[in-house]
Structure 1
C-alpha cells in the first residue's frame, strides 16, 4: 500500500511523535509498503519519501525534556495550512492509508482527525469524537466514572483566575496530590505536590493547551497500563518506578524505569485490569477499528483506579504499547500491520 505517516506536530510530544514516525516507517517498509513520512508542522513537511522496501531509514532521538514550544502558534499555522491544501493534502488524498503517529495537541485531541474526516481521507486509530472525549482528562474521568469504572477524585483549576479551589486545598491538606495539565500527554509537567505553596509554584509553571490544571490524590500503589487493539486487551504492563511519578524523563529514557510484561500479578487482577481497559475503551467511543491504552494506579488498598485513556499511544522503541505487543507474542511490524488492518475494516 501507499502509506503516509503523519508525525511531529505542534504539541510538547513533538519529539516523541517524530521518533514514533520513523519507527513506524521502518516497520511498514519491512511489510512491503511504500512510505512517505510527513511532519505537517515543519517548514519542509516531507521528512522522507517516497520510500520503498529496502531503503535505509534514519531515526529520531527523544530528549530528556520536552521541546520548547515558544513558536507553537507558528507550528499550528503551518500544520493547518499543510492539512487543508497544497502538496501535503494531495499526498494524503493519493495515499491508500494515513498512519497517525501524532501524539498530543491537535494530533490527539480530534483536530487532525476531524480535518481528515472532512477531506474523506482514511486514517488509523479512533475518530475525532472519541479522541476529543479522551483528550480532556477531567471530562474523560467523568465519563468513565458515570460508566461505573473506578476513578480518583479530581479537581479542575484554571490558575491565574483565582486561588486554588477549596476542594483542591482539601486534597492537598490530606495529601500528597498529583497536579498535571488537564490536556497534555507523555506525562508532560506531571508533579507530586505536598503543600499549597508547592501547588502554587506548579500552577505558575504549567501552561496547558486547555489552561486548566487537574489535581487528584497521589495513589501510592502499583502502576499498570493496558492496551486495547481492536477488541483485544493485550497483556498487562507494570511500570516499576524509581521516582514518585512516571514523568516525561522517566518515560522516554531507556533504563529509567522497569516495565514488566506480562505483569507479575494474580490472574484475577490481570483479568480485572483487562476488563476495565476494554470498558474504558468502549465508554469513550473507541470502536473495534481503533486502539487505545488505559493507565491505572492502585490506591492504598490495592484497588486499581483509571487515570486516563490514550487515543494515540507512543510507538517509539521504548513505548508501552509496543512493549505490550511483544508480551502478546507480536513483533513491532505485526503491531503496525494490525493497526493498518483495523483501519481497513
Structure 2
C-alpha cells in the first residue's frame, strides 16, 4: 500500500472507564489529523457502538484506538478487534493485559533487570492489619495505587499511618487488587518507543506532591521539557530502559514508559500502551522533537498497524 493511499479508519474512543473524557479529548485531535491526512474516518464509542462495528467491520481497513483504562487498554478491545480481523495500532491482547496490570508488569521489569520501587500486591478482602504491617516495613510516605487503572485514578500519596486506611479504601473502590509501593522522590521522566526506536526523553516538572490526575490534565500545572536536561549517559540509560520495558511486556508499535530519577539512578514505574494523543501529550511532544509532526506520527502508527496484519 502506497504512503499516499486513502485509508478507511474506524476511530475508537470513549468507553466506560474513568478515563473516558481523556480518551474523547485525544480522539478529537486524532480525528482532525486523520482528515488532514486525507483518510476517511468514522467514530465508534465502545460504550454504545460495538454492534455497529461488528456489522460494518469489512467497511474499514484499520482501527485507530484512543482508549484508556479497563475495557480499552487491557486487551479486551484488542481481542474483539482480532476476532473481527480489523488491524489496530499498539499492543495486542497479551501485551495490553500485562502492561495494564502494574503488579505483573513490575515482575516482568525485574526479570529483565530493570530497577523498580519496592512494593507488594494485595487482593481485596485481605486483612488491613497485614497491609499496615507491610506499610510500616516499607516506611512512610508511600504510594497506594490500583493495579489496573491509568492516569493516576485511585492513587494516593500516604504521608503517615493514619491516612493509610482511607487510601486503601479509595484504591479498592476502583480495583480488586492494589499496590503498596515506596515513594521515590526525584525527577520524573518518560520515554516513548516508536517502531522499536526510543524517542527523546521528556522531563515532567510540577509543584504537586506527585503527578496526579489533576496535574496531568489541567493546563499550566505541569511543564514538559524535551529533550530532558539530563546527561547523555542518563539519557541513553532511560531510552534503553524504555526499550527493555517495551520488549519485556510483549508490546509493539509504540509505548511510553514512566520513570523517576533519584540522584543518578533511574527507576521504572509503569508503561502506557496507548499513550495520550492530543498534540500536546507527552509522546507526540517527544516525536515532534525527533522530527515527526503530529500528522506524521498518526500516519506512522497506521502503517505499523497495517504492516503487523500483512
TM-score bin (small chain): over 0.9
2:305 corresponds to: 343
Any runs of at least 4 consecutive aligned residues in structure 1 with deviations exceeding 6 A, and if so which? none
1:170 corresponds to: 137
Distance 2:162 2:73 in 1: 32
* CA offsets 1:108-136 (integer angstroms, 9 cap, x no match): 11001011112211111110011111110
Stretches of structure 2 that go unaligned for 5 or more consecutive residues are 1-6
1:131 pairs with one of 96, 99, 106 = 96
1:316 pairs with one of 255, 278, 297 = 278
CA contact (8 A) 2:73 2:100 kept: yes
Shift of 1:209: 4.9
2:27 corresponds to: 21
Stretches of structure 1 that go unaligned for 5 or more consecutive residues are 46-81
Distance 2:44 2:155 in 1: 29
Q: TM-score, with normalisation over the residues of structure 1?
A: 0.83
Distance 1:230 1:13 in 2: 26
Distance 2:195 2:279 in 1: 21
2:114 corresponds to: 149
1:325 corresponds to 2:283: no
Query: Are the structure 2 counterparts of residues 145 and 208 from structure 1 closer, same or farther at C-alpha, using a change threshold of 3 Å?
Result: farther
* CA offsets 1:28-66 (integer angstroms, 9 cap, x no match): 111110000111204xx4xxxxxxxxxxxxxxxxxxxxx
CA contact (8 A) 1:4 1:98 kept: yes
Distance 1:279 1:208 in 2: 32
Shift of 1:160: 4.3
Query: Are the structure 2 counterparts of residues 319 and 248 from structure 1 closer, same or farther at C-alpha, using a change threshold of 3 Å?
Result: same
Shift of 1:167: 2.4
1:298 corresponds to: 261
Shift of 1:321: 1.1
Question: Aligned pair count?
Answer: 299
CA contact (8 A) 2:254 2:273 kept: yes
Shift of 1:208: 5.5
Distance 1:106 1:133 in 2: 14
2:150 corresponds to: 185
Once superposed, what is the RMSD of the aligned Cα atoms?
Answer: 1.4
1:243 pairs with one of 190, 193, 208 = 208
Distance 2:239 2:186 in 1: 18
Shift of 1:269: 0.6
Distance 2:145 2:31 in 1: 32
Q: TM-score, with normalisation over the residues of structure 2?
A: 0.93
Tell which deviates more after alignment, 210-219 or 332-341: 210-219
CA contact (8 A) 1:151 1:307 kept: yes
2:219 pairs with one of 254, 258, 269 = 254
1:35 corresponds to: 41
